[in-house]
Each structure stands twice: as C-alpha cells, then as structure tokens.
Chain A
Amino acid sequence: GENVEQHPSTLSVQEGDSAVIKCTYSDSASNYFPWYKQELGKRPQLIIDIRSNVGEKKDQRIAVTLNKTAKHFSLHITETQPEDSAVYFCAASLRNQFYFGTGTSLTVIP
C-alpha cells in the first residue's frame, strides 16, 4: 500500500494565527488527497480535498497545496478559531483505497 507521513504530530497556535500541516506520500500513482478533521470518538469529517491534476485549492479559511513532483501536500488554516481544535488527518488515495497520515492534534489557544 501507500505510505503517508504527517507532521507535526501536535500543533498549538494562538487564535487568529495560521496553522500548517504537512504530509508526504510514497506512491506517485496516488491521485486524490483528502483532509479530515476528527473529534474524539467521532467519524472523520472531510474538510477539503485535492486531485492530482490540481496544485492548489481554497475554501474560505482552509487551503490545500499539492506538489506532485516532491510528493507532498499541505493543509493551511488561516485565522484559526478555538473550534478548529481537533485532530487532523491527511490521506492519499491509491487505487481508490485511502491511506491515512498519523494525525496532527491542533490546539487553538484563545
């Protein structure tokens, strides 16, 4: 399968600051990269995704960038709010199977 690495594992930011989470993947055949927010004991919620033929995508305060050559993609959250606090997972889709990163616990300090 695919190998996805995610950094950092924990991230604390002041409210209003930006947060950046980075992921790398190993298989160049991966073609879809979703990001999920997961609260404790709940299902992952899709927050943004990007396909391999796109370099950047933005949705309000959230953006994702993809560098296919380097096989890495990043999540950017601007103007962070306390309700952004959660665990975030990146994933890479290889032959329609999702392989998840190890997760980033984001804490937004009011």
Chain B
Amino acid sequence: GAVVSQHPSWVICKSGTSVKIECRSLDFQATTMFWYRQFPKQSLMLMATSNEGSKATYEQGVEKDKFLINHASLTLSTLTVTSAHPEDSSFYICSANPGGSYEQYFGPGTRLTVT
C-alpha cells in the first residue's frame, strides 16, 4: 500500500513553454501533498505544500506564479512549471501524507530538461 505515482517520468521542453507534472496517490487519500526539487548531487528542497481544495503554501524563494500547484482532489496534485528556462531543469519529486501519520510517501520523480 501507500503508492504514489508521477507522470511523466521525464520530459524535455523548449525554453518559454509550460510543463505540467502530475502526482497521484494510488491507494490512499492524501490530505496533503508536497513538491520538492532536487538538483544533481544536491538535497531535496521543499518547494510547496499543497492541501486539497485550498491554495498551496510556498517556501521562501519559490515563485508561486512560476510554479503553479493545484490540488483538486484527494488523490491528485499537479505542478505546472510556467515559462520554463534551462535553470528550471531539475528532478521534481512529490510526496503525499495520508493524514494521521508523520510519514510521507514519495513519488518516483520527474526529470525535467529545458532546452
């Protein structure tokens, strides 16, 4: 149990375009989902916390107009990178918390390359 999926697993896009990444909890309902960014050989950096039906909370330094997060249901959160630039190239990982537990279940990640 407690499986989280992400789609796509990798994506290449051109500079200036937008990319949407989906995060789904497959066998549980997630009251809260989280989005992380991981640059090569670096740590996971929390970008934002997403609660179903409400606006996401962004960490300091993360542009909310650039990284649009929508958590429309208890099993789906999406991250849209708008007007992507090469410096947005990174590994994006989501996680989900089912509530009633401290644990977060991580998705497999999405490798974004902006050319």
Q: Which residues of A contact B (CB under 8 A)?
A: 1, 31-32, 34, 41-44, 46, 49, 51, 89, 93, 96-103
Contact = CB atoms under 8 A, between A and B. Distances in A.
B67 interface: no
B93 interface: yes
A103 B42 CA distance: 7
Contacts of A44: 44, 93, 106
A51 B60 contact: no
Interface of B: 32, 34, 42-46, 49, 59-60, 91, 93, 95, 97, 102-104, 106-109, 111
Contacts of A42: 108-109
Contacts of B91: 41
A50 to B, nearest CB: 10
B46 A1 contact: yes
Contact of B46 (A51, A99, A103): A99
Given A41-B111, A42-B108, A89-B44, A96 B59 contact: no
Contact of A51 (B93, B102, B104, B107): B102
A32 B102 contact: yes
A89 B95 CA distance: 15
B43 A97 contact: no
A88 B92 CA distance: 18
Contact of A43 (B49, B103, B109): B109
Given A96-B97, A101-B43, 10 more contacts: A31-B102, A41-B91, A41-B109, A43-B109, A46-B103, A49-B103, A96-B49, A96-B102, A98-B104, A102-B42
B43 A100 contact: yes
A49 B104 CA distance: 11
